[in-house]
Copies of this chain bind each other. A is one copy, B any other.
Amino acid sequence: MALTAAEIETLAGVAQRKLMLSTDQGLSQQGQANSAAFILTRGWAFSYILLHDGSRQIVDFRVAGDFLGLRGLLSPMSDLFIEPLTDVEVTEFQIGELLGAGTKVPRLMSAILAGIARDQAITVEHLVSIGRRGAPERTAHFFLELGARLEEAGQGRKDNYACPLTQYHMADALGLSAIHINRVLRELREDGLLTFRKGEVFIDDYDQLSKLAGFDPGYLRAKTVF
The chain A residues found within 8 Å of chain B, CB to CB, are 49, 51-53, 55-57, 59, 70-71, 73-80, 95-96, 99-100, 102-103, 106, 109-110, 113-114, 116-121, 123-124, 126-128, 130-133, 174-175, 214, 216, 218-219, 221-223, 225-226
- Chain B residue numbers with a CB within 8 Å of A77 are 218, 221
- Chain B residue numbers with a CB within 8 Å of A124 are 49, 59, 80, 123
- Chain B residue numbers with a CB within 8 Å of A126 are 127
Inter-subunit contact A73/B225 (CB<8 Å): yes
- Chain B residue numbers with a CB within 8 Å of A219 are 75, 78-79
Closest Cβ of chain B: how far from A115's Cβ, in Å? 9
User: Which of A95, A109, A120, A124 is most buried by chain B, counting CB atoms within 10 A of its CB?
Assistant: A124
A121 to B49, CA, bound (A): 11
Contact pick for A175, options B57, B80, B95, B130, CB 8 Å: B130
Question: 16 extra interchain contacts, Cβ-Cβ under 8 A, other than A51-B133, A73-B225, A130-B130?
Answer: A51-B132, A56-B132, A57-B128, A70-B117, A74-B225, A75-B221, A75-B222, A76-B223, A79-B216, A79-B218, A96-B225, A96-B226, A99-B113, A99-B226, A103-B103, A123-B124
- Chain B residue numbers with a CB within 8 Å of A128 are 49, 51, 57, 59
- Chain B residue numbers with a CB within 8 Å of A119 are 120
**Which chain B residue shows the least CB distance to A52?**
B214
Secondary structure dominating the interface of A: helix
A177 to B121, CA, bound (A): 24
Inter-subunit contact B132/A175 (CB<8 Å): yes
Closest Cβ of chain B: how far from A11's Cβ, in Å? 16
A8 to B116, CA, bound (A): 25
Inter-subunit contact A132/B225 (CB<8 Å): no
A158 to B172, CA, bound (A): 31
A78 to B117, CA, bound (A): 11
A128 to B89, CA, bound (A): 28
**Which chain B residue shows the least CB distance to A48?**
B128
